[in-house]
Amino acid sequence: MIKFKTSFLIGTVLLAVISCSNTIFAQNKTAVKTNLPFTMPEVQIPKFKADTLSITDFGAIPNTEELCTTAINNAITKASQSGGGVVVIPAGLWTTGPIKMKSNVNLHTKNGAFISFTADLNQYQLIESYFEGNKVLRCESPIMGVDLENIAITGEGIFDGNGAAWRPVKIGKMTAGQWQELIQSGGVLSKDGKIWYPSEGAFIGNEEKSKLPKTPTAENMKPYKQALRPVMVSLVNCKKLLLDGVTFQNSPAWNVNPLLCEHVTLSNLTIRNPWYSQNGDGLDLESCRIGTVTNCRFDVGDDAICIKSGKDKEGRERGKPTEFFVITDCVVYHAHGGFTIGSEMSGGVKNIFAKNLTFNGTDCGLRFKSVRGRGGVVENIWMEDIRMNNIPTDAINFNLYYFEKAIKEDPQTGEVTVEKIPVSEETPAFKNMYFKNIYVNGAKQALKIMGIPEMPVQNLQFKNMIIRSDVGIQMNYAKNIDFQNIDLRLDKPGIAASISNSQNVNIESFKATGENQLFWAGGLATKAISVKTNGEKMTFDVVKLPESVKNQVKIME
């Protein structure tokens, strides 16, 4: 067959967004797409009194290294105690310690405002906090709020978390010259010389944990606090939350992390981290309910748009899923995953609708991950109008072996064989997920599903996909999978679609170019495979099925 390439015109649609001014908001609810596949509660947005306070009125001095922490927090406290209002950060360079949000306050940044969080770790106290789904002792976040209602951070300013003061760096993520410069700046190397830590305390806290206090407290963990990196924006158990227009960048760990929040509106944000930043996630929506993410831009060091709900037993016991979110009109540049669910999803994820997302150079496009031991159910997920360009790994990936040793795969077919274990509360489940209008201009692999035998990835529909990639479709331990109108354009010869140990797979209106074998199915558990093409005659000689599964495969013209 003749191999050809197609370039896609990638554009974005900008929706009308909420205006953030120094006046009371005119409305209390956001308008979301009306023809959603689930009943979406109306999203409440905060509204504020017109009262305005400037941080300069509380002693903040711009364009110096003098800390404005007290001035900013006093202004926020005054506004909240007075019934709410707007606290303005004017244009200028501002250096500060942790900013502590209060109810009924809109922290509004003017164009030209650059807020730099200090590298002086003495300004960040150790507190009981959260990280990666669990309650832990952690440093205060640069921006934080707990048990608040009616809050916002808006405007055109930039918040910089000074993440280089906190983060370890891996040798493989830098050039030789950058690595030498980093080493010469100080810090401590790991025993194998492949990881740089900013201090001895950070090194011990990460690599010699046996030396840490058996019962950690805020006092005895002070020497190791650089290992206890905070998320940059930590908002816990807050209701009616708005983040609009601002830039959050250079975070110590995760960047923006709403946890246990309700009525969340995130719009027009720019979220940035260096590509080499360890744990440099963009947005982590964790155990949150009812919200929208609209017209945001991501360029980060780990996953970009992340949906989570707690980790392992603690997440299951909390039992708070992330649910009822509409995510539209976003662009992701560098990230490990463009849109990700997991791996901390033990509390469940459901009723998520994502549309009009663009991934440009993102490591993996749509990424779904977990592992035995997590538990939790991910269900009722809709993805529409997704465009990807230059994806180094998989356009779509399901991996239920995250953190485990690599599963041995057949180099030709991608087939794996895994021992089945009993289903328990620790068994993760991914089901009822729908993918429509997926366009990929270059990826290493089109689709890879690595399910587990006791709980296959099930009830997935892929409709209207045009994907140019090196490798086509590989499925392991999947059930009730429906493909409709699929066009694969392979840049390297191989099998267009491989199915292993899967059941009830329907492939309709399927075509490929560049392959040297259209179809393969194998595995003792494979049953009920149906393949229907666009009038092209196929025989078992062409698709080369093993004898063991021929009676399970039906080919229809």
Dump strand ranges (E) for 347-494: 349-360, 364-369, 377-399, 429-450, 457-469, 471-476, 478-490
**pLDDT tier, 557 (very low <50, low <70, confident <90, very high otherwise):** low
**pLDDT tier, 387 (very low <50, low <70, confident <90, very high otherwise):** very high
Could you give the residue ranges of the DSSP H alpha helices within 219-376? 312-318
Predicted pLDDT of residue 3? 34
Predicted pLDDT of residue 26? 34
Q: Residue 174 corresponds to which amino acid?
A: M
Within a domain: 157: no
Predicted pLDDT of residue 208? 96
**pLDDT tier, 540 (very low <50, low <70, confident <90, very high otherwise):** low
Terminal alpha carbon distance of the chain: 20
Residue 132 has pLDDT above 90, yes or no: no
Residue 521 has pLDDT above 70, yes or no: yes
- Average pLDDT for residues 75-95, to the nearest whole number? 98
The pLDDT tens digits of the residues spanning 6-59 come to 333 333 322 233 333 334 333 455 566 668 999 999 999 999 999 999 999 999
Within a domain: 422: no
Within a domain: 142: no
- Output helix, strand, coil percentages for the chain, rounded to the nearest 5: 10, 45, 40
Number of domains into which the chain is organized:
1
Within a domain: 502: yes
CB 490 within 8 A of CB 469: yes
Predicted pLDDT of residue 34? 67
The pLDDT tens digits of the residues spanning 320-344 come to 999 999 999 999 999 999 999 999 9
Average predicted confidence (pLDDT) for the chain: 92
- Average pLDDT for residues 225-252, to the nearest whole number? 98
* pTM for the whole structure: 0.93
Residue 483 has pLDDT above 80, yes or no: yes
Predicted pLDDT of residue 537? 57
Distance from C-alpha of 105 to C-alpha of 238, rounded to nearest angstrom:
13
Residue 538 has pLDDT above 70, yes or no: no
Residue 528 gets the label, from left (phi > 0), alpha (psi -120 to 50) or beta, of left
Residue 447 has pLDDT above 80, yes or no: yes
Predicted pLDDT of residue 512? 93
Distance from C-alpha of 287 to C-alpha of 264, rounded to nearest angstrom:
12
Could you give the residue ranges of the DSSP H alpha helices within 118-264? 176-184, 200-207
Distance from C-alpha of 86 to C-alpha of 79, rounded to nearest angstrom:
7
Within a domain: 324: no
The per-residue b/e assignment along 462-496, b for 16 or more CB within 10 angstroms, e otherwise, is bbbbbbbbebbbbbbbbbbbbbbbbbbbbbeebbb
Least confident residue range of 167-176, 214-223, 277-286, 546-555: 546-555
Within a domain: 488: yes
Within a domain: 184: no
**pLDDT tier, 5 (very low <50, low <70, confident <90, very high otherwise):** very low
Predicted pLDDT of residue 11? 34
The pLDDT tens digits of the residues spanning 107-116 come to 999 999 999 9
Predicted pLDDT of residue 134? 85
- Average pLDDT for residues 372-393, to the nearest whole number? 98
Predicted pLDDT of residue 17? 32
Predicted pLDDT of residue 27? 41
In which domain, by residue range, is 476 found? Answer: 448-457+470-556
Within a domain: 145: no
Distance from C-alpha of 259 to C-alpha of 262, rounded to nearest angstrom:
9
CB 283 within 8 A of CB 296: yes
- Average pLDDT for residues 454-461, to the nearest whole number? 98
- Average pLDDT for residues 483-497, to the nearest whole number? 96
CA 159-161-166 angle, to 5 degrees, is 175
CB 428 within 8 A of CB 348: no
The per-residue b/e assignment along 68-93, b for 16 or more CB within 10 angstroms, e otherwise, is bbebbbbbbebbbeeebbbbbbbebe
Burial (0-12, 13-18, 19+ Cβ within 10 Å), 551: exposed
